[in-house]
Structure 1
Amino acid sequence: MRELIESHFSSWEDPRSSRNPRHPFMTLIATSLLAVLCGIDSFSGMQDFVEMHREALKKYFDFPSGVPSHDTYQRLWNNLCPI
């Protein structure tokens, strides 16, 4: 699963500062995608989704700083898709 997601999204540039990223870019993209596919429609829902499924998700994705917060998801997507 991880390889499929990474191969598809590898051309996306990480808009975050390289100074101190706490969460891997692909982990944020993949968990966002999985949450949306499961019907989640909010950033706080993405955080809740990862918290509920963390044990299963950590088999495929890295969480070196724990579960990303809803603010982390929101900042990422606001930078990827500014309105």
Structure 2
Amino acid sequence: MGETPAGRRCLPKTAPVARSWGEPPQVGATSLHRFSTLPDPRIERSKHHLLIDIVAIAILATISGAEGWVAIETYGQAKYDWLKQFLELPNGLPYHDTFGRVFANLNPLKFQECFGIWFNSIT
């Protein structure tokens, strides 16, 4: 386990993963800015990962077949090098419980709106 500058534990940036997820989706990865209007429900001091990074990994993992927060975390580990090409990931990858907490507190209507705009931009 690594530590962030604030002393928080995070996954190592090169965590080994045994599962193969196939080829990552190529369409729409660069159009994730459509989520920039999504309100971040977290308080400032608890923001160790960028909201766009959390949302992007969750969406891409789900598209690739991940079911549940642990599978989404595992996808992030498996595709870390690829994800770093278009995400900042300043504190490494979020843990599965971070995905769950963030998504549990997102405004579902705003997420649906942003997702619809993003989806329409890639189809």
* CA–CA separation in structure 2 for the residues paired with 1:45 and 1:81: 23
The corresponding residue for 2:101 is: 75
Alignment pair present for 1:13 and 2:39? yes
The corresponding residue for 2:68 is: 42
Runs of 4+ in 1 over 4 A off after TM superposition: none
* CA–CA separation in structure 2 for the residues paired with 1:10 and 1:81: 14
Task: Count residues in correspondence.
Answer: 80
Give 1 or 2: higher helix fraction: 1
Cα displacement string for residues 25-73 of structure 1 (whole angstroms, at most 9, x for unaligned residues): 1000111110010111100001000000101110110111111100000
Gaps of 5+ in 2: 1-28, 109-123
The corresponding residue for 1:25 is: 51
1:54 aligned to 80, 98, 103, which one?
A: 80
- Alpha-carbon shift at residue 9 of structure 1 (Å): 1.4
DSSP 3-state at the match of 1:31: helix
C-alpha RMSD of the superposition: 1.4
Indicate the larger mover: 73-82 or 20-29: 73-82
Gaps of 5+ in 1: none
- Alpha-carbon shift at residue 81 of structure 1 (Å): 5.4
> Among the aligned pairs, what percent are the same residue?
29
* CA–CA separation in structure 1 for the residues paired with 2:91 and 2:98: 12
* CA–CA separation in structure 2 for the residues paired with 1:10 and 1:65: 19
